[in-house]
Structure 1
């Protein structure tokens, strides 16, 4: 047993000292300071899963099924704390908010974030180029995802992952409309997290992430780490807090979900459909289901490039609050991005942020090239390109 898990057991024993049974055996008149410390420790103990039978039963079952060290798994879950803040954050808003693509877009495609994206691209241009060459996923899509998710590592989350996953596994709020399914999902994620921690020899109490347990620059859930994360820098470990592994893992993820090299993400469309036709067009949601010819029959005329495209397309509706919606035709690559986050608004933000950063990168490359050109002299006239 490692030292960290021995320390965990010692901590649990210390917490048990403040139980009523221990107090009866060791009566002592407490001072005011002692009362304060005791109350604080009792409050801490009350939020820990060490005293939850179902949590310990989960640990025993996990250890047996996955052939893990039982005491180590129990010690890890015992030190997880229930976080009421996470329970509140996971709930949908109390009142439905009108979707607004323009407002959503403005949060991501703005000068400060684009400038940060340019710095990231400049620093990791070779790694991005290698990821694109190996997987076919364009550098701007990888950059767009990392920019939307964490601003290229600036905001990766401050919650202990063990706490968030335990809270959502054992105390998922019943008020959520899909509480049963979501709680089962987070139990699976907690299982993946603890399994990987033990098999890689990492401390399960150290990783931090979002209120839903997503980790690293690309905000992978534990199951995605297990399936899609790669050691792209070749140092022998997978670390999604490092740019190279984050870049390679995002590219690998999209490739695994059907990214088709060389295929655009979307096309423009001119819409003149009747209400009934529009209902038919939107029925498959964002799953590409129509040929360009069938779209035209239903009142959605694709741009010329889309008319010669042989793959399936989806009519994607982006609402703009009280204004008229925007529409694009999503390809299978648009759909692949939504497998990362099941939202057409998210996918468009990734695409447009990545494109904005690519344009900034290309402008930077042009300016650098111009600055490095030799100054023309009378003896050596400047050549026209």
Structure 2
């Protein structure tokens, strides 16, 4: 886990569940629960527990007991509210938080120690080692910052006390109700005690900061020991990150992005930026709208997106993102996040090569 300030920059770095029907039956919470509050006394929490048990044929007393032992975390709901600083995005400042000496040195140690596992994962999944290294470095500084919030408390707080001031409060509350359900699903499937895991304030866990739904869907046994542990088993974490990308459309051998230049005659930024980070335009489309790609980019057979990285009061940075750039944003919906992952992985790889040079 990152520090709360930097972690807030990219909320919910894992997959999402669709809003569940149960959300419509539960009251919207706008009250502030006291810090000692346990959810055993909340009618809405017990209703959801009963609904989960019925749908999954779980023991209702077990579900009620687990959810009832979750406690409200008063510091968490405010972290979900928009910061109001959308106009002050600064790629260079953002980059400096992650592509920096401490993280690069830790990445070199991580890559050297797990070189064989990273090579195996790259071979099996087609996801370059530097992308996996970049993800784990940005997410948890290679396991040094995995978070100290009890996951059941974080998820229950956001499932039942999500801030009503958020512009998408109902959808986000439903999302966290789904993640709470997925935590119990994980407990049923693996036998873990759902009251024990600790993670981020949003409920993300382990070296790669998987939300419970991502653990259930994409986590794999990387070392073949018959168990999946994303906290202490690095091969499991490495393979799971790679598997996540494959499930979200990673194309082996495809670059993540291409450098570009703008046609001096003018560029149609409004059209090119309208789809946000979703690849929408062919190389020819980009050219017709005033974006000039190099030879490699012009030969790209898939679709591209114009990626804009604002630099405060300085000119923005632009690149053409591919489907693989977009795949990284499935981990976290942010072009800044994706570029930080890419450039941290590249910096670690370069440092590793320099140390190996005679």
When normalised by structure 2's length, the TM-score is: 0.88
1:83-162 mapped onto 2 (5 Å cutoff):
83-96=73-86, 98-162=88-152
Larger Rg: 1
Residue of structure 2 in register with 1:328 after alignment: 319
SS of the aligned residue for 2:88 comes to coil
Aligned residues: 325
Instruction: Provide the rounded CA distance (Å) in 1 between the counterparts of 2:157 and 2:83.
Output: 19
Shift of 1:272: 3.0
Instruction: Provide the rounded CA distance (Å) in 2 between the counterparts of 1:206 and 1:107.
Output: 30
Choose which of 309, 318, 327 in structure 2 pairs with 1:318: 309
Shift of 1:196: 1.4
Shift of 1:366: 2.9
Q: Are 2:267 and 2:290, in contact at CA under 8 Å, matched by a contact in 1?
A: no
Tell me: CA distance 1:97–1:295, structure 2 relative to 1, closer, same or farther (3 Å). closer
Residue of structure 2 in register with 1:165 after alignment: 155
Shift of 1:288: 1.2
Choose which of 42, 52, 67 in structure 2 pairs with 1:52: 42
Question: Is 1:203 paired with 2:203?
Answer: no
Choose which of 276, 292, 314 in structure 2 pairs with 1:301: 292
Q: Are 2:35 and 2:73, in contact at CA under 8 Å, matched by a contact in 1?
A: no
Choose which of 242, 249, 256 in structure 2 pairs with 1:265: 256
Q: Which runs of 5+ in 2 are unaligned?
A: 1-32
Q: Are 2:34 and 2:74, in contact at CA under 8 Å, matched by a contact in 1?
A: no
Deviation digits for residues 260-291 of structure 1, max 9, x if unmatched?
11111000000137777111111111111112
Choose which of 247, 257, 277 in structure 2 pairs with 1:256: 247
Q: Which runs of 5+ in 1 are unaligned?
A: 1-42, 368-385
Q: Are 2:89 and 2:312, in contact at CA under 8 Å, matched by a contact in 1?
A: yes
Tell me: CA distance 1:293–1:276, structure 2 relative to 1, closer, same or farther (3 Å). closer
Shift of 1:94: 4.6
Which is worse superposed, 123-132 or 56-65?
Answer: 56-65
Q: Are 2:267 and 2:289, in contact at CA under 8 Å, matched by a contact in 1?
A: no
Instruction: Provide the rounded CA distance (Å) in 2 between the counterparts of 1:317 and 1:221.
Output: 28
SS of the aligned residue for 1:84 comes to coil
Cα RMSD for the two superposed structures: 1.6
Shift of 1:97: 5.0
Tell me: CA distance 1:55–1:275, structure 2 relative to 1, closer, same or farther (3 Å). farther
Shift of 1:199: 3.0
Q: Are 1:233 and 1:244, in contact at CA under 8 Å, matched by a contact in 2?
A: yes
Shift of 1:234: 1.2
Tell me: CA distance 1:206–1:273, structure 2 relative to 1, closer, same or farther (3 Å). farther
Shift of 1:93: 1.4
Instruction: Provide the rounded CA distance (Å) in 1 between the counterparts of 2:267 and 2:302.
Output: 24
Higher relative contact order structure (alpha carbons within 8 Å, sequence separation ≥ 6) = 2
Q: Are 1:270 and 1:302, in contact at CA under 8 Å, matched by a contact in 2?
A: yes
1:157-306 mapped onto 2 (5 Å cutoff):
157-241=147-231, 242-272=233-263, 277-306=268-297
Deviation digits for residues 309-329 of structure 1, max 9, x if unmatched?
212111111100011111000
Deviation digits for residues 46-86 of structure 1, max 9, x if unmatched?
50001111111111111111111211111111110011101
Tell me: CA distance 1:333–1:273, structure 2 relative to 1, closer, same or farther (3 Å). farther
Shift of 1:164: 0.5
Q: Are 2:309 and 2:316, in contact at CA under 8 Å, matched by a contact in 1?
A: yes
SS of the aligned residue for 2:315 comes to strand
Instruction: Provide the rounded CA distance (Å) in 2 between the counterparts of 1:176 and 1:228.
Output: 29
Shift of 1:227: 0.6
Q: Are 1:273 and 1:300, in contact at CA under 8 Å, matched by a contact in 2?
A: no
Q: Are 2:135 and 2:208, in contact at CA under 8 Å, matched by a contact in 1?
A: yes
When normalised by structure 1's length, the TM-score is: 0.82
Residue of structure 2 in register with 1:31 after alignment: none
Tell me: CA distance 1:95–1:125, structure 2 relative to 1, closer, same or farther (3 Å). closer
Instruction: Provide the rounded CA distance (Å) in 1 between the counterparts of 2:327 and 2:201.
Output: 24
Residue of structure 2 in register with 1:352 after alignment: 343
Structure number having the greater helix percentage = 1
Tell me: CA distance 1:347–1:264, structure 2 relative to 1, closer, same or farther (3 Å). same
Instruction: Provide the rounded CA distance (Å) in 2 between the counterparts of 1:50 and 1:148.
Output: 36
